[in-house]
Structure 1
Amino acid sequence: MSLLELNRVQAYYGGIEALKGISLTVGEGEIVTLIGSNGAGKSTTLKSICGQVKTSGEIRFKGEAISSWLPHQIAASGIAHVPEGRRIFPKLTVKENLEVGAFSVKDKALVKERIEQAFAYFPRLKERYRQAGGTMSGGEQQMLAIARGLMMKPDILLLDEPSMGLAPVLVDQIFEIIQELNASGMTILLVEQNAYHALQIADRGYVIQTGEITMQGKASSLIADEQVKESYLA
């Protein structure tokens, strides 16, 4: 059974149809990537899963229909969304940003334990423990955004353009961390414009164009496909 399943999902911004009946699945323990050009509907797909845009169709998580749930209910069910542009709290320290990520965890000892787990993945954040998030580099802010998403110990991590705006050496580092998280058992749905990097680490992939899934398959097959190469890997 799939951990996450979208069946003919349509999404709307006002009267504009942004997703035109897409279907995709993410199995437990997989990295699945969604690639496509700017404006294709990648970010809208993640927002639809998280209840942030109006949708029709069916979204199921762990076998339950969640389309009618509120965003905070979806987050509490085990779905963590790390949005495009990081969106950390710039005036809060690293520690405070992580604590916000565990907003519904009442056990302070458990929050502290999860912060230490985050530092195991991101040692740089431990060095910046009391530093305001907005004063850190773009790469450090991206690490903080991912670490904050892990604070609820989600079943699936939705990552939206984690490499955007980063220097190549930091892009490699972020993708290594994504692989480490997956190796530890984390299921990941990755939206990424850097299609080559994404397909290199993913199990499966989907190509989205103007709100429709146009191709899908094993990542190794997509990365070898001539049409994908010409459109996204050139």
Structure 2
Amino acid sequence: MALLELENIHTYYGGIHALKGLSLSVNQGEIVTLIGSNGAGKSTTLKTISAQVRARSGSIRFQGTDITRLKTHEVALQGIAHVPEGRRIFPKLTVRENLEMGAFSLKDRKQIEEGMERVFRYFPRLKERINQKGGTMSGGEQQMLAIARGLMMKPKILMLDEPSMGLAPILVEQIFEIIREMNREGMTILLVEQNANQALAVAHRGYVIQTGEIILQDNAQNLLSDPQVQEAYLS
């Protein structure tokens, strides 16, 4: 049974039909990537899963339970962490305070501190800047903070939306190596990424989305070598 499964999802923005019968699945321990051009529906897929946008029809199942009609905070409490495009940290809060906001579902102070130590293993730079306000940090550091905040709730699946956007190449490599490390340690990841080469290099499987529909799915290596994918997304 898939950890996360979307079946025949239709999502609208007003009269705009954004997702048109989209179906996909993510198994425990996988990195699955969703690639496509701007406006194809990648971010909308993640927003629909996390209930920021409501699916008009279709079903979303997580660990075998239908979560289609849950509210955003209820989806998060199921163990689904969404790190949105554009980072969206709290710029006036310190690194510590941002991380504490990510741990809203944890009541035990010891658990919160243990969570911080866990994310500092992935992002030691954040420990060095624990009392620095998020808005004064570099773009790369803010992206690290956004991912770390998502990890604070100890999610069962981490959804990352464009984690490399706006970053220098050396930081992109660093972010993707951290994604690999998290996965090696058991984290299931659903990755939306404009950089299809990087995404397919780190993923186990991938889906290609075009105007709200899945047009191709395969293991990541096959997609990397697919002429259609190479011409459209890898050139």
TM-score calculated relative to the size of structure 1: 0.99
Task: Give 1:147 shift.
Answer: 0.3
Gaps (5+ residues) in structure 2? none
| Secondary structure class of the residue paired with 1:86 | coil
Q: C-alpha separation between the residues in 2 aligned to 1:192 and 1:225?
A: 18
Which residue matches 2:39? 39
TM-score calculated relative to the size of structure 2: 0.99
Which residue matches 1:152? 153
Q: C-alpha separation between the residues in 2 aligned to 1:92 and 1:31?
A: 31
Q: C-alpha separation between the residues in 2 aligned to 1:72 and 1:35?
A: 27
Which residue matches 1:91? 92
Encode CA deviations 1:195-221: one digit per residue, 9 max, x unaligned.
000000100000000000000000000
Amino acid at match of 1:36: G
Written as runs of structure 1 = structure 2, the 5 A alignment for 1:114-153 is 114-153=115-154
Which residue matches 1:27? 27
Amino acid at match of 2:27: G
Amino acid at match of 2:26: V
Encode CA deviations 1:68-94: one digit per residue, 9 max, x unaligned.
000100000000000000000000000
Which residue matches 1:164? 165
Which residue matches 2:176? 175
Q: Which 4+ runs in 1 deviate beyond 2 A?
A: none
| Secondary structure class of the residue paired with 1:44 | helix
Amino acid at match of 1:40: A
| Residues 13 and 54 in structure 1, CA contact (< 8 A), matched pair in contact too | no
Which residue matches 1:5? 5
The aligned length equals: 234
Amino acid at match of 1:227: Q
**Sequence identity, in percent?**
70
| Secondary structure class of the residue paired with 1:8 | strand
How large is the Cα RMSD of the aligned pairs? 0.5
Q: C-alpha separation between the residues in 1 aligned to 2:54 and 2:110?
A: 38
Amino acid at match of 1:23: S
Gaps (5+ residues) in structure 1? none
Task: Give 1:16 shift.
Answer: 1.2
